[in-house]
Amino acid sequence: MPEFTLPELGENISAGDVLRVLVKPGDTLAMEQPVLELETDKATIEVPSSVAGTVGEVKVKPGDKVKVGQVILTVADAGKAEGQGRREGRDGQEGKDGRGAQEGKTERQAAEGRTERQDAGARPGGTVGANTAAKVPDEETGLEQHVEDARRDAGDKAGTTRPSREAAADAEPARQKVVDISRGARPPAETASADLPPAPAAPSVRRMARELGVDINQVPGTGPSGRISVDDVKAHAKRLVETASRGAGVAVQLPDFSRWGEVERQPMRAVRRKTAEHLSAAWQTIPHVTQFDLADITSLEELRKKYAKQTEAAGGNLTVTAIAVKVVASALRVFPQFNASIDLGSDEVVLKKYVNVGIAVDTDRGLLVPVIRNADQKNIVQLAVELAQLSEKARNRKIALEEMQGGCFSISNLGGIGGTYFTPIVNAPEVAILGISRARMEPVFQKESSEFVGRLMLPLSLSYDHRVIDGADGIRFLRWVAQALEDPFLLSLQG
């Protein structure tokens, strides 16, 4: 029995909650008739039917959460109630002949010896019955067979004057409807790959391809007769990663926004375009995890204000960002797995012996990330001066490309704007990034005095590549950074 599944509901909508079911078993279902009242995260909508017939079993009820593609109901006698016009046309024909559909069916069986399957798809006068759609399988081969059967029925019918091409035209809409209701036709790529001979590769090579998510049929072999080796699979995987890192992909087809009001199109600047490509590739290829923590910087803020003038005299600003650069540089020495990159092409993790820290700078052209080199070898005043110089060059469009390369770890401080926590995207090929938000006074319980005391708390957000860093290591790193901000002596003790 054909099934009606929940169709695509719109952009980024994959499921909804059933508020009301508008049909029940035994109801006659027409095309475009509302079947469900569904609540999504964007709106409440009525879901129309794409099939006509008699409602068989309703598989959902109010309160259920349904996903796109889930079966909503089954349809008996699909196609008999396909459209009012066709229904009336058949009724008129039956009245003219002076007999019903069942009488015509019985007469044909006696006169022509047709099978029950052929009779169910025909009507008096040689017209092809719409309920043949119920007989059509989901797959493409079954659909083609249906059209061929319709042509044969129309041509074999005694007294038929319509050519077989016209009969096939009647069957074509039914064929299309079945494709729309079911999973749809098989993708061309799948069909094509099924016709290809097996790729020449050993079972161990095929297993590696599966583990890396590589289609073995797409890997060019360099061995005898094109045989595929382990190195061929690794090289192909590396090319895929490099292509993704360049932001290659299929552009999403956008709707015509001018239908709803006035719009203005602006060309995407080079910095914005590069940022979009780079971050899109990072988000698609890196399994992100973000952890959060709070650092009590009450004492640090007092020290920062105390030595601010001294840093200004040297040409820098003693900011929380400058202090965080020093803290992170020391943390990368304590936790070397955060100062790394992953090389999937050779199945290796690259551990770096130098410490270069990138700082995200907001400019009128977009986000730029200048890099402070050998940050672990410089004091906080030196870091503050270099940070001020690089930030100024970035905003004045004087920074060189070389000054934004070679980073090991990035810091993004949004505290000057506001907010609490956020989830920064890892700046590939790095494996982690620290987000800093605005510090604020909060009541903190003191065990010593058993009282709540106002303390200046700094929100921290650490995102990292889960392929290289485990959750336990992530929170250890973040806790170390928070404690170093709370007690700067830790930098001299362990950093």
Which residues participate in catalysis according to the annotation? 466
Query: Within a 10 A sphere around the Cβ of 52, how many other Cβ atoms?
Result: 26
DSSP state of 138: S
**In the chain, what are the helix, strand and coil shares in percent, each to the nearest 5?**
40, 20, 35
Rounded Cα distance between 175 and 471, Å, is 52
Q: Please say whether the beta carbons of 77 and 131 come within 8 A.
A: yes
Residues with Cβ within 8 Å of 225's Cβ and at least 6 positions away in sequence, in order, are 200
Give the Cα separation of 320 and 415 in Å (integer): 9
Round to whole Å and give the CA distance between 131 and 335. 69
Burial of 421 (0-12, 13-18, 19+ CB in 10 A): middle
- Exposure pattern of 427-459 as b/e (b: 16+ CB <10 Å)? bbbbbbbbbbbebeeeeeeeeeeeeeeebbbbb
CB atoms within 10 A of CB 395: 15
Number of neighbouring beta carbons within 10 Å of residue 219 = 22
Distance CA 124, CA 14 (A): 45
Contacts of 232 (CB under 8 A, 6+ apart): 205, 219, 220, 221, 222, 223
- Note the Cα 146 to chain centre separation in Å: 37
Q: Decide the pairing of beta strands 34-39 and 288-296.
A: unpaired
Question: Six-digit token pair at 464?
Answer: 């990292």
